[in-house]
Structure 1
Amino acid sequence: MRINAITIEAFRGFQEERTFKFPDTNIIILHGPNGYGKTSFFDAIEWGLTGTIYRYEEDSERKAYQYIGNHFANGRPPRVTIELSNAITKLKVTRTGGGYQSIRSGEDTSYLKVEVNGKSLEDDTAEQVLKLLLVHKEWLERVDVNKSLFLTHLLCQERMNGILRGMKEKDRYHAVSRIFGTEQFSIYRDIVHKAKMELEVRRDEFQRKLDSLKADEVALEKRLQELKVELSDVSNLSRHSQWQTTLQHFQEEFEPLTSTSEPREIKEWVHEAELQSGRLEMERSKLDNFAFRELELAKSALAYLKVKQPQLNQWKHQYQLGNYLKDAKSKVEQLQQLLTDTDLYQETEQITCQKVQQADELLVQALRTRSTADQLDKALDNVTGSIDNARLVQNYGGLSGAFAMNYPSLEEVARVELFEALQQLEVQWKSLKVCEKNFREAELIHSQHSALVQQLVQHEEKHQAFLKHVMQFAVEQPELEHCPACGTEGIHANHLQQYARFQLDRIHPELAPAKMRELDLDQIKQASESHLLVTQKNWISAERTLRDLLLKWRQQHGSLLAQETAVRAKRNELLEDIQQISLRQENYKQRAEVLEINVMQFDLKERISSSLHNFKQQMEGLRDMLEAVSSSFTVKPLHDQNQDIQHLSKEILIWIGRLTSVGIVIADSLEADWQAIEEKLESKTIALQDNIQENARRHAIPKQLLKVYRTDKYLELFEELQQHIASKQKVIQRVEDGLRSLKETFDTLKDAEITVPDAINALTERVMDQMFDTMRAIFVRINSHPLFTDIDYDTDKKYNNNRLFLKVMTGGDSPLGPQEANPSYIFSAAQVNATAISFFLAMSLTQAWSPLQFVAMDDPVQSMDDLNVTALIDLIRDLANPVQQNHKQFIISTHDSTFYELMRKKFRVLNVGIVEYDSYSEAGPTYKQYLIEAQEHKSIAIFAKSLTN
């Protein structure tokens, strides 16, 4: 099955619809620069037939990028239509992407429509039918169309070098196995492995079950031995009489509790015996665990209290003496300190009065300073505002008078200086205005007179020009006999010349005085201007003086504020001193009140000394009393003594509680009669022992009855256990047999899993030999290496995986003998490409999985020299020749013009379809396509016009 036509739209490099037709062609050549869409043509074939582009499927990052749809298609889905045919089938395949999202292969949303001999099919049915047409029936379950088409029909640029250097030996082996169908046998290894794993799980389950059964058997044996011990002294003849005797004893003892008018069954008597036994056992437990224990604890408590209570009383007495002594010492120390501070207390009263007076004086000073500062600040603000307002209205008159009226009480120096500065400013302002007026008047008069002089000068210049003209006229008209202006007779040319000369020597009578007057006015103007400049300087100086004065008093204002702050700080210090003195005075009074001394009375020091003497005598008496009862307890600090007393008091309360729990109440431990309490405890102990003995006697009766009854049950249980053990042993035997069978099957599967890869390898090598014969024939024709002229393969297994190695060899006539090498490491790029093409063409020619008869190679002559290229073209021509039984349709792209022209020349004996790319834009490529028929037909038909944008 061959390709007759292909239509591409919105797919990769194609935006607008482009159609390529190749009816009855043996070879299709695509020629154009790189980047014009040749590779997109090959991708369209692959995507149209499979729905994927396999070389991108191996890239995990493909989902993050747009590579199926065209970027400039404005959301139109990609669409590819491929027309194929053979002798009996016409197939039209149309694949459309599912909207704009199909630009990402990861979306996997394309829709397929197939027409087979005119019958249309869609969606899943179309996919199934297409696979049936592309794959031979016996291969349907053995190949993946995407991977296999990529291996045998499509050789892209990236893959040529990758066949040798980019593909691992394991992947190369699987690729060949896939083409020849032996890869499917690896499924058997997976099946065997899965079965082995499942069997291993079952084996482990049987082992766990066997372990559980044996554990149960051991437990049953143990229980059986225990029953043998229980029944060792039982006689069958005495069992009935024992039951009757023990039952009678039970009835006699407990009849009042269990009386009933009806006869009772054995189980009922057993149940009643169990109830009585349990009740008596609980009663005995209470006697042992509570009553008896509480009596023992009460006896211990009594012994403890007899010792500890007197000790507690002694400790309390010693602690009380220690506290009295501590208080006396404290009072003595306080009185001594109070006596020491008395003189200071009495002197401080006068000091306090003096400091209060100083603080009041400082407050008055601060207020006065603040008032002065505020007045000065207000005056300065007023002056500044007045100056600003005067500057705005351009009138400085009356400033000094207003200032004198508004601030008569201002500090005299500031008031005088500011008044004089404002007065000077007014004077200078008035002088400035007078000078400006005089200057404007002088300037105006000077300007007017200058204009008059200018008019006189102009008039004189015109008169001079007229006289010159008259003289010139008289010279030119010597025959003149009358005046040319008024016509007076007798006026000759000489008369006119004499008159003109006379007038030229004269000037205007008013011009000279005017000139003199202009000079006088100019001197007056300059004098006014000079006077104005001096006045302006004086005015600026007055302004600067006032500004400096304002700045000076602003600084003085700041000094006044700082002075006020300092005075107030000093006053605050005095107030703090007064407060501290008051606190000390108050502290002295409080200490005196605590010691019951009135500070307001006379003879303060004498009364303090008398009280101090009394407390010293009291302290000496307490020290003597404490030494009389001295012990290890009195040596401890009072805090530790108190803790010991508290701890011992708590312990005594606990022990008294233990006596209370047995019914002995102690109202006051200080007055307790320990002998009477001891007698009460002894009486309670005797009564408790009697109760325990009575409980044991009565408890033995139901226990004996239950023992006789359980003996019968033990005999029955003994027989049941023997039967159960026998049953368990039979089950264990069956489980052991099953486990043994599972282990044998597991070992068999394990051996099979190991041998399956070897079997697959042997099967693959048989078919691989045939392919490598073909590959060797191709390699010999297109290889250009001068020494390594033959190729072969080798296989081995590593980590339970088969691997395929390619190797090249020298001829037998080499001086060093036959040599082998890995072509990946010794061949140049061109030689590697030649080897890759040999490998690809061999797989394509020997594949049997698909009826497709085309071979597509995208730019196959990368880095190849002329010899390689020529050999490759000759090989392709032979493989595409229709006279061959299994000839192929070749689709070849190239950017190399030499290779293109050589192919056109070499393929002239075949039907050749040619696509020549002209340019490329957002719409896609523009191109011309031709059909060149075989040379024997002697005709070249142009069947498609040039496409434009």
Structure 2
Amino acid sequence: MFIQKIILDNFRIFRGRHEFDFSYKKVVVVEGPNGHGKSTIFDAINWVISGKISRYVGSSEHQQFNYIINSDAYSLGLDEASVEIYFNNQEEVVIKRTVKANGSTKLFINGHRFGIRDGQKEIVRLLVNEKVINDTNLFDSIDLPSFIESTLILSQENLEEFVRGNKPTQRYSKLEQILGLTRYGQDFKDYLQVLKKECLTQYDDILLKEKNIKHEQELLNVQYKQKSLQNERNGNKPESKIIDELNTFFSSSMESFEQLNKNEEFFEITINEYEVLKKYIEEIDDKLKRLVDLKFEIQQKEININDIEFNKKIANLHNEISILQIEKVKREGGIEKANSIKEKLNKIAQTNAYLDIKKIEKEKIDIDIKNLIEKLKVISKNLEIDYASLVLKKITDFIEEFRENSTLLDSLLEKSLILENENREFNLIKEKRIIREQNDKNIQLIKDLEKGIEDTENDIFNLTKQKKTNLDSQIYALIHEVQIHLINSNEQKCLVCGGSYNNSEELKNSIRIQLDNSNELLNGFEKKINKYKVSKNELNIKLDVAKQESMVTQEKLNNLNNELVNLKDKTVNMRLQNSISLEDPQLIRKEIVKAQKYKNNNQNKYKGFIEINKILVELNNLKFKRKGIYEEEENAINQHRSYKDFVRKENKLQLKFNKIDSYLSLAHLKVQEYNKKTYEFRQHIQDMEREIQLLNKIKNELENSLNYKLNLDSKEILNVIIENISLFEKRKFEARNLLVTIGDYLNDIELRELQIKIKSFNQKNLILQKQIHQYLTMDNQLKNLLAYHTQEQSSLVNEYLNGLSLTINNYFRQISPHSYFNYINLVTRKNELFVLLKDNQFENDDIEENIDDSVNASLTLSAAQSTILAMSIFLALNKSQNWSKLNLIGIDDPFQNLDDINAYSFIDVMANLISLENRQILISTHDSDFAKLSIRKMNLNPNEYAYVKIQSYTRDAIEIQLEQYKSLEDKRMSF
């Protein structure tokens, strides 16, 4: 990514708007005297990207004074400055930053306004490589101002500061910023120191708390011993005796309900022990209540069960139920048979209803037949035919004959129309041939007329050409014009021949003679031309008439063609569908007359026969339908052969229904009686089984509690329940006495409070001991971590610097070939960075160990050598950095302390970077010779470099020499 364009608007020394176009420039050299704005161009790049100017960041004055807005413009009321830079990437990137005098800043990226924070993130995203963006830790650690001044733009102030001005610790911190390691370096160490200090403060607080707690514990122990001795003198049991009684009570076993026993051992008397014993008594109460409930269930519900006797009773009841089920099945069989007969009788009833409906249908058909016969008589009478002699076949034959005659008549008429169309087609073809011949004559006439007009135009053209080219005629024409002029004047001398006349009248008479001669010659050509023009007009008129007639004729031809096509298609289709073979029109007309006569004579008879045919067909259908009804009735009756006596006999059928319903009613009552008795027996069985189930449940519950087997005998089970009730009541009495003793002990509030306080202090002391151990362990870990971090950070930085040193040495030896110490190494130790010198190459393993015996660059090198070394480090960092897409090297006036050899060598280095490293180089200098030498020695095409020469700077204007530079006067200012 290169810089394409820089636009400065009232930015620092540049008053007004200034545009520098560096498109496709590999090298930009800015020349000008000191104080003329060379460094401002570098400041603009720095400020638009990072929002800061690095060389002012360490000063507090930049926050109090205006230093970005041009002072002259500011004094005239303008309170805004801006910088806009165009970068070329795969797509053009434009960043613009504006600032007002009140400090408010706006940031625009590709024309869109961003908030400062979000805008800075977007700038980083656009300028930083994808590898860094995808690494969250690297992306968050980017310090743009530090990266820019250390790897992209080297200012005058930073040239020697890194080598000579900075202390080793500052130099190391600066390197951490350059490498993006600040968050892992000094920031992390500061965090560890703060953490260690906080841990130490908390540790001291814990030790003080421990001392206070121990003192209060000693006082409480003395009070507790005194109070315990006083209670023993008053007859109260001591805690130890109560604990023994409590453990003895719970260690004693019961023969029943062992789940109530407590296996735990007690070591002190607290409210917890009181609650345990109280809960134990509550459990005994629950068990007693349950035993009483079981006793009540057996006695109250009069459960008197012996397993053997109950099983015999249940077996007898099941036998009675089986007998009832057999009787019930018999009765249900009779009901099923009766229902089957009833269903068959229902079908007979349905058949009787069906036969009644069919009877009505037959009566209706007979009426319809009678009406049709009457209608047939009327039609036959009108036709003078005996209806009794009518035969359906004769009628259908006549109808078919009449229809065939009608079809024949239609075909004959159609064939007559076909012949007429064909005759019409023949006449049209003949007419078409005549019109076409006439049209061909018109076309030939048009061609002849067009040829005559063309010949006439040629004749007119030739005559006109002869008239123009004939010298005599031209002369006569000229003389004619002159003589006309002389006639109209009072001249006595001829302007044509030069002759003199006595007076103007003699001249005019002579001219008139010459005019007659001239007119005669001119009129000969004009008459011929006019004659041809008249002939041409006549030919044009004839041509227009001929074309008009041709258009009319052509239109007639088109219409005839369309009519012929339609008529021919119609005739062909009609012939394909027509079956008449006759082709003689006269024969066809005779046949048409014959067929038409037959149709006229038999039209009424045809209509009457059609109506008679319909009536006869309808009569046949009705007779067939009546016959079908008879067959359906016979089939319906035959379905009930076994019950044929009930068909069409409603009274007899109803008596049979009544008899079956009476039987079914009695049978259903019997089935209900069987069901009722069966239900009663089953209820009795269920009651007995329920008593057995209840007693069995009681038995199982007691067996689980007592852990021994019982018989299913209500008397035996009741005795066991009564015995266990007595045992539980005795256990409950003992527990209550012990509970009273514990209650008396716990009611001594003063002693209890002392115990609680002692226990609380013991807990606090235990927690404090754990915290003390944790803080001691943490302090030791922080010390080890700090030492390890310093060692590892230094080792990692040295590893990076070892690789960087080779590049630094190459640049340093190339730029300063006559230096005595021409081997440089950057070495870190304990958060310090040293620049060491040697006259031969360092051995990597010995560098850190021999720091104290090495030559220090900051104390040894001259100003020029320090400048060269600073540039070498800067170039090496620029070459090795992989954080930025911006391939830029900017160096602000690096040659103030360099001799010619250094300068020439530096130019060679720059040329190498351009060709091999694909860098865009921006250099400023106050030395005109060096500026020109840089351009020549880099051997670039004119379109690959830009030479910016700032010639003068005054309050009124700044004069800059550059083809791609534009200065736009700010209309807001008045100078």
TM-score of the two chains, using structure 2 as the length reference: 0.41
TM-score of the two chains, using structure 1 as the length reference: 0.43
- Greater relative contact order (Cα < 8 A, sep 6+): 2
